[in-house]
Amino acid sequence: MNIAIIGAGGWGTALSIVLHGKGRRGSLPWRIRLWSHEQQTVDEIRAQAQNVRFLPGMAVPREIELGCDLAWAVEGAELVVLASPSHTMRSVCGKLPRLNVPVVSVAKGIENETHERMSEIIAEQQPDAPIAVLSGPSHAEEVARGVPTAVVAASRDKALASLVQRTFMTDRFRVYTNDDIIGVELGGALKNVIAIAAGIADGLGLGDNAKAALVTRGQTEMARMGAELGAKRETFFGLSGIGDLIVTCFSKWSRNRGVGERLGRGESLQQILGSMVMVAEGVRTAKAARQLAQKLGAEAPITSEVCSVLYEAKTPKQALTDLMTREAKPETAP
């Protein structure tokens, strides 16, 4: 099988390692091409056999082909994996040649200007390509090391979801299928915003009770917004919902949780982002998610407070107070 992976960040690189390893077990090795928008990244991987900026310490097999030309990357590809950050998805898709092979989005975010999910952007830019989404609790650092991981492949086309499942599934990377592409994408995007809030709780030293409450109510907030957009509530109890939420809110690898922790300790957003190499998707997604919730008339208090801290100079302590002193209501209120 010939597979193109567009985006040589940590996640794209980790998936190239997984797919290369699986392809070697067959009678014919798979051809894996990994595209980066930066020649520097390509040169570093070639020279050091690892992605030193985005996935340090993990060997990248020499057989994985590397390049910066999009047309070259997808030439002859039977499957294209889009691993670019969500804020670059539209521009990257627009520069690709017209595709008519399955495309798998592994980016997690909502576009600020349009409030569109990644699959919606891809469908606009690549109307002939069948689209699936791969999401779930899957830190690149652990996936690349072969730590047991479970994710979900979602598509309205069940045959396509099954194809993605068969392609990616190994004895260390388990893939389930789901036909709720809206819920799977929203779970992957919105949990990053809740993870910033969880990090703020860590930075303030609030303890386990507060963080458990935040994660639980965050999951409710995600499901509420998802239902308004046509997603199934039960999807948010699965891998792309509560599963991804747990790992992103608690893991040392979580960039979004890390941003929140530093905010809680008093650093400014400008200081934090200026020191980061990789993207914390929740920072951009928070603004889009709040706007989307307002448009839908869906209550999203955690998302709203995260936005106020990120963009309106509200202190984390004041945001906490405002969350805790909201009007009393039943737990299961819609």
What is the tens place of the pLDDT at every residue in 124-176? 999 999 999 999 999 999 999 999 999 999 999 999 999 999 999 999 999 99
pLDDT of residue 334: 63
Q: Would you say 261 and 201 are in contact if contact means Cβ atoms under 8 Å apart?
A: no
pLDDT of residue 143: 98
| Residue 334 belongs to some domain of the structure | no
In terms of domains, do 193 and 170 share one?
A: no
pLDDT of residue 277: 80
Instruction: Specify the CATH number for the domain of residue 41.
Output: 3.40.50.720
In terms of domains, do 67 and 139 share one?
A: yes
| Element housing 6 (H / E) | strand 2-6
pLDDT of residue 279: 76
Which residues does residue 196 pair with via DSSP β-bridges, in sequence order?
none
In terms of domains, do 208 and 313 share one?
A: yes
In terms of domains, do 65 and 117 share one?
A: yes
- The neighbour count for residue 35, using CB atoms within 10 Å, is 27
Backbone CA torsion sign across 11, 17, 18, 23 = positive
Structure-token pair, residue 287? 């603004």
- 75, 80, 86, 92: CA torsion to nearest 10: 10
In terms of domains, do 151 and 12 share one?
A: yes
- For the beta sheet containing 103-105, the strands, ordered from the edge strand earlier in sequence to the opposite edge, are 65-67, 31-35, 2-6, 79-82, 103-105, 131-135, 149-154, 173-178
In terms of domains, do 49 and 62 share one?
A: yes
| Residue 333 belongs to some domain of the structure | no
List the Cα angle 226/99/54 in 5-degree steps.
Answer: 65
Instruction: Specify the CATH number for the domain of residue 286.
Output: 1.10.1040.10
Distance of CA 242 to CAs 161, 192, 221, 255, 333, Å? 21, 12, 12, 18, 19
Query: Structural domain tally of the chain?
Result: 2
In terms of domains, do 70 and 173 share one?
A: yes
In terms of domains, do 274 and 173 share one?
A: no
Choose the final residue of a domain: 135, 159, 179.
Answer: 179
| Residue 204 belongs to some domain of the structure | yes
| Residue 58 belongs to some domain of the structure | yes
Which among 144, 137, 131 is positioned nearest to 93, based on CA atoms?
131
Choose the final residue of a domain: 120, 145, 179.
Answer: 179
Helix (H, G, I), strand (E, B) or coil at 72: helix
| Residue 331 belongs to some domain of the structure | no
In terms of domains, do 99 and 193 share one?
A: no
Choose the final residue of a domain: 179, 214, 238.
Answer: 179
Regions of the chain with pLDDT less than 70:
334
Helix (H, G, I), strand (E, B) or coil at 119: helix
pTM (two decimals):
0.95
In terms of domains, do 172 and 186 share one?
A: no
Is 329 one of the annotated active-site residues of the chain?
no
| Residue 329 belongs to some domain of the structure | no
Q: Are strands 50-51 and 55-59 parallel, antiparallel or unpaired?
A: antiparallel
- Domain extent at residue 35: 2-179
E-strand spans in 85-229? 103-105, 131-135, 149-154, 173-178
Q: Which residues contact 20 (CB under 8 A, 6 or more apart)?
A: 30, 32, 61, 63, 64
Structure-token pair, residue 41? 């990244």
| Residue 242 belongs to some domain of the structure | yes
In terms of domains, do 167 and 221 share one?
A: no
Q: Which residue among 22, 108, 191, 211 is the active-site one? A: 191
In terms of domains, do 162 and 130 share one?
A: yes
pLDDT of residue 87: 93
| Residue 200 belongs to some domain of the structure | yes
